[in-house]
């Protein structure tokens, strides 16, 4: 959705809150009404867009977070549109940037005197007034007149060009091109100042260990102004004010001393740099800087040679001083600021130790979540709902949260709407809520029930009396189905199978050092209550035991990719070199073998395996999302590798996620490995992370990964070539039905 229509959408959308909001308990934050929510959402756009696109926030000491939190409080207290506009301006004031501001439309200040468009003044000074309303209105008539001015300009001994305006418009740029001043004044082409803006290639993680993505500046060259057939020494003075659009030729001529600028009041580079304009709630218009000028001498900005105070005294002081400068040919120097070349490295934000921040910082957290997903989530278009609506939906909950727990849960519920299995939220508060250590069991949802499939700690689980195939009915007295519904709003999952995997994990997760009580059904009738210990070390427990790789018979080998290490890959292929087929069990998560495995299998040199799409944000313009796309090829075979030419099968299920799915893409590209099992999780791509006030850390997928032919993987998963699902009866009988199916398939392929 275009930012330019945000306010209308948010106002309409937030109306549904009126039917949801209940009176707040005594002492709680007042729940905002729908107009306040719309105002806050728009403030969030200003804060977030400024944070990641205003150039000064990369290297100047500006506490933008504090300014945002303070502005939130002001918006909540705003009683009318004027107060809301003042709150937004208070945020922008922290930048100390006249180019970024709430726009106050002045009364029409076009002069109505009889100064002609073109006038010869004493000392052969030619004055051209391009500022007046009549000139703009008679644009088509006067363009021809401008083209005919070249002979007059060439015989003038001074040129005064009035660009002052009461309302910004783009006509002066067009008018100056028609005057062809550069061709009259220059004997060689002139380059105007360039401009640099921020860009993001993915989101550079707020961490020292995750640096897959990066941000920085991109510099565009300035306009080139062609020269003419002579080098005139004609002095030129431009008259400007804060409301006019300054053509790019003006600073170009000024920087080489071929023109001077007289400003009526404060004038900066606002009209010379890229800005974005958006209309917020209450018809509040905001302009926000996106770029800054770059001159060849390493300076930036725009300053007039002379400034006169606006609206002081009789007559036209700016015009008078401009004429004096022309007649004396004495241009006061114009100094610019040095351009900061280095960009400060990303830092981990310090939000303090408080887990329950003030309402300003709680809302700021929601702003940051919305901003990063809006601009830099590669799977934005795959989310189920409207992301703007999600912000509107959860702002009241974040504001009304009475405790750290309620605040952390509100952020987690908001974040779950990105539908990304990589979309995790972590904090000490959430660990208390959902646990921080798994119990000694593995379980899956099979045939609509949660079933014990194995043990993280065989000795502990058996001592507790658990058996594989037990159906879990309740945990700590809460029915399994009720628990799943209770945690549903907080689960970020790419696919239904991913949701069930996470929900089952939460069912079996408790507090380290304590036990959880499970009510299980064994067989058809018996129900038992079993106490199962929880321990953080169980996070690292493999799903399967036995040898990591081995021969199943004289024709088929097996390797457990959940446990196979990179150094073991070559050993595995050499040990099983005489086999006609190998089963690669990728039910779980690999140990970094996705690059090494295909080297031993590829039928051609470096085949393409996957398509990567990394978000590339060059501006906040939402008219089109851009990506840096590249094709990942498998590594070329090495001289010491003897390719395995037999058949390969990969086993998979919903526990196969991310790197496991990437191994699947690589194996399919290498030798068309056959997939057997059930669909995978459906989340792939290197993650990135950011932090929020209150001690929350959030992850999301940083770049999209697809099949090499462009078919989606996210929110779909890898599809099995042969679908096989385990059964409760099979588990109780000690069978691995997926492995059995793979063996049966290979025996059929290999023949007698």
Kindly report, residue by residue over 633-689, the tens digit of the pLDDT: 998 887 788 999 999 999 999 999 999 999 999 999 999 999 999 999 999 999 999
117 — pLDDT class (breaks 50, 70, 90): confident
Instruction: Please give the helix or strand (H or E) that residue 409 lies within, else none.
Output: helix 404-415
Please enumerate in sequence order all residues whose Cβ is within 8 A of that of 345, keeping only pairs 6 or more positions apart, or say none: none
What pLDDT digit, counting tens, does each position of 411-436 carry?
Answer: 999 999 999 999 999 999 999 999 99
Inter-residue contact 650 to 674 (CB < 8 Å): yes
Is the pLDDT at 31 greater than 70? The verdict is no
The mean pLDDT of 466-473, rounded to a whole number, is 96
Band (pLDDT 50/70/90 cuts) for residue 244 is confident
Q: Which residues contact 729 (CB under 8 A, 6 or more apart)?
A: none
Contact indicator for 635, 564 with CB cutoff of 8 Å: no
What is the signed CA dihedral for 385, 386, 389, 394, rounded to 10 degrees? 50
Specify the pTM: 0.91
DSSP secondary structure letter of residue 501: H
Q: At what angle do helices 404-415 and 387-400 cross, to 10 degrees?
A: 170
The span from the CA of 17 to the CA of 224, in Å, is: 54
Q: Given CA atoms 554, 559, 560, 565 in this order, what sign does their dihedral have?
A: positive
- Given a cut of 50, whether residue 110 has pLDDT beyond it is no
Whose structure tokens read 């725009």?
A: 302
In 54-156, alpha helices (H): 64-77, 81-93, 133-137, 139-147, 150-155
For the chain, give the percent of residues with pLDDT over 90.
76
Residue 696 DSSP SS3:
strand
Contact call for residues 262 and 318 (beta carbons, < 8 A): yes
Average pLDDT over all residues of the chain: 89
Q: Are 489 and 495 in contact (CB under 8 A)?
A: no
Residue 41 and residue 284 in contact, taking contact as beta carbons nearer than 8 Å: no
CA gap 54, 9 in Å, rounded:
25
Q: pLDDT band for position 583 (50/70/90)? A: very high
CA-CA-CA-CA torsion sign (13, 14, 18, 23):
positive
CATH class of the region 431-540: mainly beta
Extended beta strands in 383-448, E state: 425-426, 437-438, 441-446
Cα-flanking dihedrals φ and ψ of residue 217, to 5°? -110, 145
Q: In what order do the strands lie in the sheet with 556-560?
A: 549-551, 556-560, 581-585, 647-652, 674-677, 722-723
Average pLDDT of 130-137?
55
Maximum CA pair distance of the chain?
A: 111
The answer to whether 376 and 700 are in contact (CB under 8 A) is no
Domain parsing of the chain, residue ranges: 431-540, 549-750
pLDDT at residue number 108: 46
Please list, in sequence order, all residues whose beta carbon lies within 8 angstroms of the beta carbon of residue 168, skipping any fewer than 6 positions away. 243, 244, 245, 271
What distance in Å separates the CA atoms of residue 583 and residue 122, rounded to the nearest whole number?
Answer: 95
- Give CA–CA dist 344/328, Å, rounded: 45
Output the pLDDT for position 346.
Answer: 66
Query: What gap in Å lies between CA 552 and CA 571, rounded to an integer?
Result: 17
For the cut 70, the answer to whether the pLDDT of residue 467 exceeds it is yes
Q: Given this structure, which CATH class describes domain 549-750?
A: alpha beta
Tens-place pLDDT, residues 700-732:
999 999 999 999 999 999 999 999 999 999 999
Range with the poorest average pLDDT among 97-106, 455-464, 530-539: 97-106
Query: Residue 427 carries which DSSP code?
Result: -
Q: How far apart are CA 91 and CA 102, in angstroms?
A: 10
**Most trustworthy range by pLDDT among 100-104, 150-154, 622-626:** 100-104
Confidence band of 147 (pLDDT split at 50, 70, 90): low
How sure is the predictor about 524, in pLDDT bands with cuts at 50, 70 and 90?
confident
């Amino acid at each position: 959705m275009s930012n330019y229509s945000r306010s209308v959408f948010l106002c309409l959308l937030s109306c549904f809150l009126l039917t949801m909001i209940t009176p707040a308990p005594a002492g709680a934050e007042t729940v905002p009404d729908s107009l306040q929510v719309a105002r806050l959402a728009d403030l969030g756009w200003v804060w977030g867009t400024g944070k990641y696109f205003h150039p000064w926030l990369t290297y100047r000491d500006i506490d933008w977070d504090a300014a945002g939190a303070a502005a939130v409080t002001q918006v909540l207290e705003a009683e009318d549109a004027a107060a809301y506009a003042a709150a937004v301006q208070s945020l922008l004031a922290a930048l100390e940037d006249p180019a970024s501001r709430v726009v106050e439309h002045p009364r029409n200040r076009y002069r109505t005197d009889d100064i002609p468009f073109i006038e010869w003044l004493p000392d052969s000074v030619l004055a051209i007034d391009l500022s007046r309303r009549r000139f703009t209105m008679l644009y088509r008539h006067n363009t021809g007149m401008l083209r005919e001015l070249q002979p007059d300009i060439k015989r003038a001994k001074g040129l005064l060009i009035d660009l002052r305006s009461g309302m910004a418009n783009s006509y002066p740029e067009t008018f100056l091109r028609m005057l062809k001043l550069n061709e009259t004044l220059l004997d060689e082409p002139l380059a105007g100042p360039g401009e640099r803006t921020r860009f993001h290639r993915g989101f550079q993680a707020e961490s020292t260990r995750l640096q897959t993505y990066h941000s920085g500046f991109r510099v565009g060259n300035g306009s080139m102004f062609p020269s003419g057939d002579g080098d005139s020494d004609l002095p030129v003075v431009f008259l400007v004010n804060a409301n006019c659009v300054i053509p790019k030729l003006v600073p170009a001529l000024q920087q080489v001393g071929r023109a001077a600028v007289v400003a009526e009041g404060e004038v900066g580079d606002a009209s010379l740099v890229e800005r974005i304009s958006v209309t917020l709630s209450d018809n509040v218009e905001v302009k926000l800087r996106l770029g800054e000028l770059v001159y060849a001498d390493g300076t930036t900005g725009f300053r007039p040679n002379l400034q006169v105070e606006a609206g002081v005294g009789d007559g036209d002081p700016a015009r008078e001083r401009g004429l004096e400068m022309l007649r004396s040919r004495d241009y006061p120097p114009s100094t610019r600021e040095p351009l900061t070349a280095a960009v400060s490295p990303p830092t981990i934000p310090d939000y303090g130790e408080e887990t329950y921040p003030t309402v300003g910082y709680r809302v700021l957290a929601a702003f940051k979540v919305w901003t990063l997903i809006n601009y830099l989530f590669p799977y934005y278009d795959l989310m189920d709902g409207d992301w703007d609506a999600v912000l509107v939906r959860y702002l009241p909950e974040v504001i009304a949260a009475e405790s750290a727990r309620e605040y952390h849960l509100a952020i987690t519920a908001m974040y779950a709407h990105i539908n990304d299995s990589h979309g995790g939220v972590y904090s000490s508060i959430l660990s208390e809520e959902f646990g921080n250590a798994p119990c000694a069991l593995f379980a899956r949802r099979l045939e609509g029930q949660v079933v014990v499939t194995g043990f993280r700690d065989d000795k502990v689980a058996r001592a507790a009396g658990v058996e594989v195939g037990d159906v879990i009915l309740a945990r700590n007295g809460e029915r399994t189905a009720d628990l799943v519904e209770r945690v549903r709003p907080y689960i970020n999952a790419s696919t239904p199978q991913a949701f069930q995997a996470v929900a089952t994990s939460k069912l079996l997760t408790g507090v380290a050092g304590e036990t959880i009580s499970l009510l299980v059904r064994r067989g058809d009738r018996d129900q038992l209550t079993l106490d199962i210990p929880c321990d953080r070390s169980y996070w690292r427990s493999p799903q399967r035991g036995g040898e990591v790789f081995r021969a199943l018979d004289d024709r088929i080998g097996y390797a457990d990719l959940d446990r196979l290490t990179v150094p073991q890959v070559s050993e595995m292929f050499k040990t099983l070199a005489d086999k006609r087929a190998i089963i690669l069990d990728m039910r779980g998560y690999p140990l970094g073998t996705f690059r090494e495995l295909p080297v031993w299998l590829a039928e051609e040199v470096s085949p393409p395996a996957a398509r990567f799409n990394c978000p590339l944000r060059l501006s906040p313009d939402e008219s089109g999302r851009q990506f840096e796309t590249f094709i990942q090829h498998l590594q070329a075979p090495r001289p010491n590798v003897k390719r395995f030419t037999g058949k390969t099968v990969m086993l998979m299920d919903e526990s196969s996620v991310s790197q496991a799915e990437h191994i699947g893409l690589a194996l399919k590209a290498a030798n068309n490995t056959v997939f057997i099992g059930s669909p995978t999780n459906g989340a792939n791509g290197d993650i990135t992370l950011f932090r929020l006030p209150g001690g929350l850390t959030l992850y999301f997928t940083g770049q999209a990964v697809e099949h090499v032919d462009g078919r989606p993987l996210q929110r779909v998963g890898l599809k099995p070539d042969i679908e096989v699902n385990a059964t409760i009866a099979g588990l109780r009988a000690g069978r691995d039905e997926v492995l059995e199916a793979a063996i049966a398939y290979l025996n059929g392929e290999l023949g007698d």
